[in-house]
Amino acid sequence: MSNAIYPATLKGIMPSVVKTPEFATIVQASPSKVETRIAQAQNPIWHWSLTYDFLFNDLTDPVGGAQRNPSVLPYSELETLMGFYLARQGRFDSFLFDDPEDDTVTNQPLQLVVDNSQPVSAATIGSSAGTGFAVGDQLAVVGGGGAGAVLQVATLSGSAIATFSIVSAGSGYTTTSNAALQVLTGSGSGAPTANITATPIYYTPLQRNMGGQFNEDLDYIPLLGGSSTLGPGDANQIFANGVQKYNEYYYPGSNDFTLSGPGLAIPGYAFAGLYLRWHYAPAPPITGTFKFYFRVRFEDDKTDFEKFLFHLWTIGGGESNRGSGLVKLVSARTASL
């Protein structure tokens, strides 16, 4: 996987581009033709078919005829495109594609989703304080839907538990009254319970909305200023209730959000792209303006470059006679982290 950008601005590319979204659906029909359909893809796979009417194989300016500056353009159009294809080893390596008519989100509303199933952040004694405990005794939180949380007896009222400290916060918990506890150390008894608090975590998936009808997960936003972020001064911006927010990596001390992904799965939600993990509950609405790229690969392991005149080549253009034509690209989504 590389972050090389496809040379989409080469002279000679035809304006006629075929762009095809593809889903994967299982369709099963009964003898009476009643159908059951199962969607297997949350996001489409995109296909692009590009045609090049001409590719120059010298450094002569195709308009004025003068020699182009080799320090500015050291390779011909043919060398640039052919070299890019060879460097990817055909279908092997993925890269980035800037679709010029579909690469920007502008002041778009973004989702705010909440994960209420999290580590224990606070615990107080429940309806049963037990008996026979000593300071330092440990109890596992077995109620509340999670696992791994361990509480320690901090103070006593006689031999009953008065307060807890958290030894291990665990994960997967929800805020619960009278969550069951299991004695791990000590000789206490009486089935003590705890009222536990699990702090919600807030996320914003980075998506583009198509026609107000479909949200597509995005798995690459350009790196600006050498950082992997949305930060001050960048064209990429995030707002919460009209106030700009910053990525902690780019703007230390901002304490707003961390850019993570691709891939987020929490109870009730699943997203395949990048997302923001907020450090607190942000004030909605959440909106964003940013540029994105599609991660793609070549659809074929071979591509025909056809010469039709001296120093002039084509891929499917009007002078093509024997070549198969078309440079075909297809989405190559990154596996979730």
Share of the chain above pLDDT 70, in %: 90
Question: For position 73, what pLDDT does the model report?
Answer: 67
Render 141-158 in DSSP notation, one character per residue: E-STT-EEEEEEEEEEET
Instruction: Give yes or no for residue 232 having a pLDDT over 60.
Output: no
Q: Band the pLDDT of 64: cuts 50, 70, 90.
A: very low
The residues that bridge with 290 in the sheet, in sequence order, are 105
Looking up tokens 């495109």, which residue turns up?
A: 81
Question: For position 75, what pLDDT does the model report?
Answer: 81
Question: For position 13, what pLDDT does the model report?
Answer: 87
Question: For position 96, what pLDDT does the model report?
Answer: 93
Q: Is 74 left (phi over 0), alpha (psi -120 to 50) or beta?
A: alpha
Produce one character per residue of 215-227: b if its CB has 16 or more CB atoms within 10 Å, e if not. Answer: bbbbbbbbebeee
Question: For position 223, what pLDDT does the model report?
Answer: 54
User: Mean pLDDT over all residues of the chain?
Assistant: 88
| Distance (Å, whole) CA 220 – CA 206 | 10
Mean pLDDT of 15-22: 91
Instruction: Give yes or no for residue 224 having a pLDDT over 50.
Output: no
Instruction: List phi, psi (to 5°) of 85.
Output: -65, -45
What's the pTM? 0.78
Q: Report pLDDT digits (tens) over 83-118.
A: 999 999 999 999 999 998 899 999 999 999 999 888
| 86's tokens | 């060879």
Give the β-pairing of 312-315 and 306-309.
Answer: antiparallel
Instruction: List phi, psi (to 5°) of 6.
Output: -60, 135
Instruction: List phi, psi (to 5°) of 55.
Output: -135, 120
Mean pLDDT of 60-78: 64
| Distance (Å, whole) CA 184 – CA 141 | 10
CA 171 to centroid of chain Cα atoms: 23
Question: For position 225, what pLDDT does the model report?
Answer: 37
Question: CA-CA distances (angstroms) from residue 252 to 126, 229, 232, 249, 283?
Answer: 40, 12, 11, 6, 21
| Distance (Å, whole) CA 171 – CA 108 | 33
Q: Report pLDDT digits (tens) over 112-121.
A: 999 988 899 9
Q: Report pLDDT digits (tens) over 238-293.
A: 999 999 888 876 666 677 888 888 999 988 899 999 999 998 899 999 999 888 99
Q: Report pLDDT digits (tens) over 164-216.
A: 999 999 988 999 999 999 999 999 999 999 999 998 999 999 999 999 999 99
